[in-house]
Amino acid sequence: MPTHTRIRMFNTKETYPNQALDNDLCQAVRAGNTVYVRGQVGTDFEGNLVGLGDPRAQAEQAMKNVKQLLEEAGSDLSHIVKTTTYIIDPRYREPIYLEVGKWLKGVFPISTGLVVSALAQPQWLMEIDVIAVIPDDWNAKEPV
């Protein structure tokens, strides 16, 4: 029995064509009843940036990605226990946190926010990663 399930595996050659990278990664990992979601940005799963210059729109796309990945892992947004949000400008905090807050209303996760000098691509204004659980009595589908 495998100890974990990798969700949406990819290689960084395709994700970052402007950089000389060749790393095998995945968007999420389900390990037992815990789901770890890689940092999500304002790019959809086809690689299209949503919201150029718009921190709220990028946060909305990132949360759409988080929701999709959690569902693929057999969980959902209500089971998020921790978020870490990275922003490149403290002035973006309010629009980003207001958007993320809409998605996590009533969830009450612990949260860490960091202002960083840059993210992996210059057009990215924010990134959020999450950890979620799958309760023993949860009836969601198994990972895809």
Each residue's pLDDT tens digit, 96-105: 999 999 999 9
Closest CA to 104 of 78, 127, 126, 129: 78
Contact residues for 116 (Cβ-Cβ < 8 A; gap 6+): 86, 87, 88
pLDDT of res. 125 = 98
Domain regions of the chain by residue span: 4-131
What is the model's pTM? 0.89
Class of domain 4-131: alpha beta
Residue-wise pLDDT tens digits, 15-70: 777 778 777 777 899 999 999 999 999 999 998 999 999 999 999 999 999 999 99
Where does the pLDDT of residue 141 fall: very low under 50, low under 70, confident under 90, or very high at 90 and above? low
